[in-house]
Amino acid sequence: MQFSDYFNLGDCSDSEWFDLFLNLDTELFVDPFLIYGNEREEFVGSHDEIVAFFASIFEDVARSGGDIGSAPYRRALARLSFPEFEEACLGLTAKGTKGAGSGRDIAAQIAGAIWTAIERGAENLSHFEEVQIFGYGIGPDRISDATLRMLLHRFAAYTQRIAKDLGVPTEIFEYEKARFDLDRKLWLAGEYALPVNPDMQKPVILVPKRYLRPFPTLNHQDFWRYCRENEGAELAELYGSHVVGQMPKEEIVKIALEAPQLRERYIATQERIGGQAYDFEGDPRGFVQWYKAAKEWVDSNNPKVGFVDEESFQEFVRELLSMFENYVGNQGGWRLLWNDDGTARREDASQRLFLGVVRESCRLNGIDVSREANIGRGPVDFKLSNGFEKRTLIEVKLARNTKFWSGLRAQLPTYLAAEGVAVGWFMVVVYDDKELEKIDGIQGEIDKLNDELPFELKHIIIDARYSPGSASTLDLFGER
């Protein structure tokens, strides 16, 4: 459910703030570079605040001499320990809106990256997200969480103002670490009137759309792209002509550290060009459009199925999948899996659309739907359950995925064995006729696996071809 739905705000698609999903994280991140280029209202002075904060970290790490047991280094770690920021419902998670956090281990990685930069002669960071270029294990979710934590008082004040303007009910929440006092080098508490997320009984923090991207503007891959396109002669002089094409992050980090002049020119270029926020209107990654379309369809179809035992539960799952197949292939749902430029969207767009179509029917029937549920051997795409006895796993794969057959032969069976689930579904999404030909032998492969395995595999083909024909032309289910 979106924030606007729960608080009965009507259509908020044109709002300046992101209409977050209260029970599901969206894989967007706060990019501090976008704040740097577009400071307004509560966010005026944000970049200077972040730079000053990290200058104090630089100072302590430098004073420590790299000794992780020293008092200055421990102080730096304490300040850098940013827990996962659940209130904004952003980022990558294993389930719902609760992620892995960034805690002390990530603080150690950031501090280690800063010490490495100091050893190579760096005196400061003009943009703290540079640590992603020359540090390991520091992804966009860590950069986003750290930004939200450092600027919590600004985001909270922004949310408080928006909530008041909209007439959204609020409660008072106190944060022990709301603002960092640079003079005294300590965190100060803050108190704010914020909306409540009913899914986790925590405050909601709203984020301006202009600050959101799927990854930070400054990142190691973009740095390497810049170097290839603009610094080819210097790269060849420094490292030889073999330094071309794709490079592992370890090598990119090495170049960023050994050739700081390249990094500085890259950052200067990005500052001149400016970053681009996510295109919410075009929605090329399918982050938002799926919800409204799926909700409208579900509201008009009222898909309540019902079940009473294990056998009827599995039939319920089959009906859910059939309902989704029919929506995509015959009722226009395929449009949500394509971009306006005619390119197909990624696998996670199919997963979000499936979740939007089946969630309400599952809720009406007492079924828990867990997306990317970690079962000990990795995250299966969906787990549907009603108690312990009635459970099934669903793995979603694009037919074009290079790991398609491995997903069927190894990945899904491994998850079923680890969870002790008797039935697993393999959902295949096809975008063109060649992909249909690629999976032509899937029924035979499933029959073979079912003869060998102690559980049952089933499959369904989702026809997401551009303007697909009748779904009746496809062998949708494995059982005939």
Residue 478 pLDDT grade (very low, low, confident, very high; cuts 50, 70, 90): very low
Q: What sign has the CA pseudo-torsion 57, 60, 62, 68?
A: negative
Q: What is the pLDDT of residue 468?
A: 61
**How do strand 423-430 and strand 368-374 relate by DSSP bridges?**
unpaired
CA 368 to centroid of chain Cα atoms? 21
Across the chain, mean pLDDT equals 83
Q: Are 356 and 286 in contact (CB under 8 A)?
A: no
Q: Which is more confidently placed, 243 or 271?
A: 271
Range of lowest pLDDT (1-10, 79-88, 373-382): 373-382
Residue 306 pLDDT grade (very low, low, confident, very high; cuts 50, 70, 90): low
Q: What is the pLDDT of residue 211?
A: 94
Residue 480 has pLDDT above 60, yes or no: no
Q: What is the pLDDT of residue 169?
A: 96
Enumerate the domain spans of the chain.
3-273, 289-473
Residue 179 has pLDDT above 80, yes or no: yes
Q: What is the pLDDT of residue 117?
A: 76
Q: Which two tokens stand for residue 429?
A: 């999404």
Per-residue model confidence as pLDDT tens digits over 413-468: 988 988 889 999 999 999 999 998 889 889 999 999 999 999 999 999 999 998 76
Residue 472 has pLDDT above 70, yes or no: no
The whole-number average pLDDT for the span 140-159 is 90
How many Å apart are CA 28 and CA 152, to the nearest integer?
A: 18
Cα atoms in the Cβ-side hemisphere of radius 13 Å centred on 405 = 9
Q: What is the pLDDT of residue 167?
A: 96
Q: Which is more confidently placed, 121 or 157?
A: 157
Residue 298 has pLDDT above 60, yes or no: yes
Residue 143 has pLDDT above 70, yes or no: yes
Residue 99 has pLDDT above 70, yes or no: no
Residue 38 has pLDDT above 70, yes or no: yes
Share of the chain above pLDDT 90, in %: 29
Q: What is the pLDDT of residue 369?
A: 85
Q: Which CATH architecture has domain 289-473?
A: 3-Layer(aba) Sandwich (3.40)
The whole-number average pLDDT for the span 106-120 is 79
Residue 205 has pLDDT above 80, yes or no: yes
How many Å apart are CA 70 and CA 118, to the nearest integer?
A: 17
List, in sequence order, the alpha helices (H) in 37-102: 46-64, 71-80
Q: What is the pLDDT of residue 100?
A: 46
Residue 81 pLDDT grade (very low, low, confident, very high; cuts 50, 70, 90): confident
Residue 356 has pLDDT above 90, yes or no: no
Q: Which of 47-56, 118-127, 138-147, 440-449 has the highest mean pLDDT?
A: 440-449
Residue 477 pLDDT grade (very low, low, confident, very high; cuts 50, 70, 90): very low
